[in-house]
Amino acid sequence: MGDWTGILHLDAENRSGKTVAKNVYFQGAFKVMRPIYHDETGQPCYYLLNPGGGYLDGDRYKMKISLEENARVTLTTQSATKVYRTPREHAYQEAEFNLRAGSYLEYIPDPLIAYQNAHYKQKNVIRMDKTATFLYSDIITPGWSPEGEHFSYKTIQLLNEIYMDDELVVYDHIKLKPEIQNLRGLGYMEGFSHLGSMIVIGEQSNIALQDQLYSKIELNTNDYKVGLSSLPVPGFTIRVLANSTQVIEKMFSEFHHIISQEWFHKQPCFLRKY
């Protein structure tokens, strides 16, 4: 296991229209629950969990998820990712996703909560066939401190690299460092406290879908700001600035419903966490 605090490998394949695990391996403080099939589509939902309850000083986690041809998986977490004080060495999570032809992965982790003096880095590498579909979202909260101050963490760094047929097509990098950045200022959080990101890639993507999503955005509101941008491959990315997790979750849920209905003629399942 080396220097990793927790390791998780999951390989899934399509068997007669139902996606099942081909191989599951985990060790240390990183586990995956048995799959739950929320509906009759044959698409399982896997819940990731950290038995320790959060990430501590120097923790390192590694995850590798592979979907064979036409496999379909929803991947989420059991609860929010909590990063506690890391006085000596940052906490780190690395994930690799391999998506074969016709496969579909929804990776929808719960929000990230970095406590006072927390230092956290995360790297996702997605390698996908041009016919695969990928939907990912994340939410960064303002953190937590005993005094209730926002942005009391040291660093939050999230990196996403997406390769299509071995060519880098998306490079998405967020680095928040309150000590040297005015996070409330222009070009950062702009007076908001929460940041949500969604990346959607699929050959079904088109301008009509983006227009449909855009129509759900309330422009005359002070509750949030939203940006929607096309990617160099079929797909788009969405950024949301808001003052609560619930506002971003509600918006992403609406977008998720539209995408699932348009692309797969189904509604996404309720993940039943609370």
pLDDT in tens, 41-81: 999 999 999 887 899 999 999 999 999 999 999 999 999 99
- pLDDT at residue 146, rounded to an integer: 87
Q: What is the mean pLDDT of residues 118-134?
A: 98
* Residue 147: pLDDT band with limits 50, 70, 90: confident
* Sequence-distant (≥ 6) Cβ neighbours of residue 106 within 8 angstroms: 73, 74, 75, 135, 136, 256, 268
Averaged pLDDT of the chain: 94
* Residue 157: pLDDT band with limits 50, 70, 90: very high
Q: What is the separation of C-alpha 59 from the centre of its chain, rounded to a whole number of angstroms?
A: 19
- pLDDT at residue 186, rounded to an integer: 85
| Of 57, 105, 52, 106, nearest in space to 81 by CA | 52
Is 152:86 a contact under the CB 8 Å cutoff?
Answer: no
Does the pLDDT at position 273 exceed 60? no
Is 138:176 a contact under the CB 8 Å cutoff?
Answer: no
* Residue 36: pLDDT band with limits 50, 70, 90: very high
Phi, psi for 254 (deg, rounded to 5): -65, -45
* Residue 272: pLDDT band with limits 50, 70, 90: low
Neighbours of 80 (CB within 10 A): 16
Q: What is the pTM of this model?
A: 0.94
* Residue 97: pLDDT band with limits 50, 70, 90: very high
Q: What is the mean pLDDT of residues 27-39?
A: 93
pLDDT tens digits, residue range 98-114? 999 999 999 999 999 99
pLDDT tens digits, residue range 161-219? 999 999 999 999 999 999 999 998 888 999 999 999 999 999 999 999 999 999 999 88
Q: Which amino acid is at 118?
A: A
- pLDDT at residue 266, rounded to an integer: 83
Q: What is the separation of C-alpha 235 from the centre of its chain, rounded to a whole number of angstroms?
A: 16
Does the pLDDT at position 159 exceed 90? yes
Does the pLDDT at position 2 exceed 80? no
